[in-house]
Chains A and B, each alone.
Chain A
Amino acid sequence: MKVSFYLNDVLVSYDVKPHEYLAATLRRNGVKSIKVGCNESSCGSCTLLIENKPVMSCSVLTASVEGKHITTVEGIQEEAAKLSRCFSNEGADQCGFCNVGYALVCYALKKEYKNPTDEEIINYIVGNLCRCSGLYSQLKAIKAYLKEE
């Protein structure tokens, strides 16, 4: 079946199987920034935005996004660069596999909350796992990112 949607504001159409998931479709079509970790809706590495809401793309059927707006990290490059600087300043990353998911979820957090508390930040990012670094340094980095204009 053919499915069309807006990928970072560009209309794209892909031939997909009815049971194909969005992470697989995007990676098959060259969007390698989508990382697939657990592939069972747990780790958050595959996070992207659908209509500006963070979701795990390993669990979204591609057929279900017909006509919708999908944002990957390529669509938020300036914000991703800011978060990257903050992560770097706090030593909050190592292998980088989870960073893309973090970038998108933090961008969504920034849009949704004006001055989130630590609890609200943690509750928002808890679905994104990092197996390398301590989560406390990431919290510090995210708080610094949220303060940036």
Chain B
Amino acid sequence: MKVNEYYRASSLEDAYSKLQQSPKNVLLGGGLWLKKTAQSYDALIDLSCCELDKISETKEEVIVGSMVTQRDFENSPVVKSLFSDALAYSVREIMGVNFRNLATIGGSIMGRYPFSDVIAGLLPYDVSLEFYPKETMSLEDYLNFKGKKNSILVAVHIKKGSGKGYYKKAKTTALDFPIVNIAVSKVNNEYRIAVGARPMVGALAKEAMKYINSVSSPKKEDFEKAAELAVKELQFLDNKDSSAEYRYDLAKVYVRRGLEEVSK
């Protein structure tokens, strides 16, 4: 990576203005994946003076600043209190503490990384992204958005609700990327299922969700059918970590277990 200028933005307005000046100006999140790019940049824009590193809550939602580190996210009592600790748990197995003290929630989302535990972990909840200049979109819409977003992610809004969450990161070794990651929720009596690292960015299994939400008191066979529907509607591919078949089989088992877990 080559950089001509390190720019410390004094405000969001200042950062946005700098971002628009060149297509080779980029925002700096945790900077961990930027390092791996062989590209050259005109300017790296540092957002650390923009006060985006706080977690707050209102009666309806939890608001996570985009520069909150994964470590601060997992340790936040507010985040831990959501959905039986499932959100905090989803980042707890990402590398080590010395990595998570650098990686940011915003950086993990904006990169739309296929292996992202943050994205898969957030997806089955009512999550919206707040951008500067003023714009809000759901996490799912952002993942489906084509092209590069040339605005600044300010915060992640997580709507509160009563219910449970489940997260499973299937991996070969402690520090490895997930072979597949599965997140299931039952919030306000509605089931949602997300599967990531297929190896594509996390996605909701909508047919399976439609089915399981249509059953009044789902039993074991209903969860099995929903898991079957989920893996059939989502695409799984091969890469060096795993075959598509293995991912398919793992996802099917963990989606079922997730549904059983959140239904208790």
A-side interface residues toward B, CB under 8 Å? Answer: 1, 17-19, 21, 40-42, 44, 47, 50, 53-56, 59-61, 63-64, 66, 101, 105, 108, 123-129
Contacts and interface: CB of A to CB of B under 8 A. Distances in A.
B4 interface: yes
Given A40-B35, A42-B175, A105 B46 contact: no
Nearest to A21: B35
Nearest to B44: A18
Contact of A53 (B46, B48, B101, B174): B101
A18 B6 contact: yes
Given A18-B5, A19-B2, A40-B36, A59 B97 contact: no
B101 A126 contact: no
Nearest to A48: B98
21 contacts: A17-B3, A19-B44, A21-B35, A41-B32, A41-B99, A44-B96, A53-B101, A54-B97, A59-B31, A59-B102, A61-B31, A63-B44, A64-B48, A66-B8, A105-B98, A123-B97, A126-B96, A126-B97, A126-B175, A127-B97, A129-B175
Contacts of A17: 3
A33 to B, nearest CB: 16
A119 B238 CA distance: 33
B97 to A, nearest CB: 5
A60 B2 contact: no
Nearest to A125: B96
A105 B2 CA distance: 30
B174 A61 contact: no
A96 B174 CA distance: 22
B205 interface: no
Contacts of B4: 18
Contacts, number: 80
B137 interface: no
A54 B101 contact: yes
A39 to B, nearest CB: 9
A44 B44 CA distance: 25
Contact of A60 (B6, B46, B102, B174): B102
A19 B34 CA distance: 10
> Which has the most chain B C-beta neighbours within 10 Å: A47, A59, A123, A129?
A59
Interface in B23-65: 28, 31-32, 35-36, 44, 46, 48
Interface string B87-120: 0000010011111011000000000000000000
List the 6 closest pairs (A to B, CB-CB), nearest first: A127-B96, A63-B6, A18-B6, A19-B3, A18-B3, A54-B98
Given A19-B2, A53-B71, A127 B98 contact: yes
B2 A59 contact: no
Nearest to A56: B98
A41 B201 CA distance: 22
B147 to A, nearest CB: 26
Contact of B175 (A18, A101, A127): A127
Contacts of A50: 101
Given A1-B6, A126-B175, A60 B31 contact: yes
B64 to A, nearest CB: 18
> Which has the most chain A C-beta neighbours within 10 Å: B4, B95, B98, B102?
B98
A71 to B, nearest CB: 13
A84 B102 CA distance: 27
A61 B8 CA distance: 13
Contact of B98 (A1, A63, A128): A128
A10 to B, nearest CB: 23
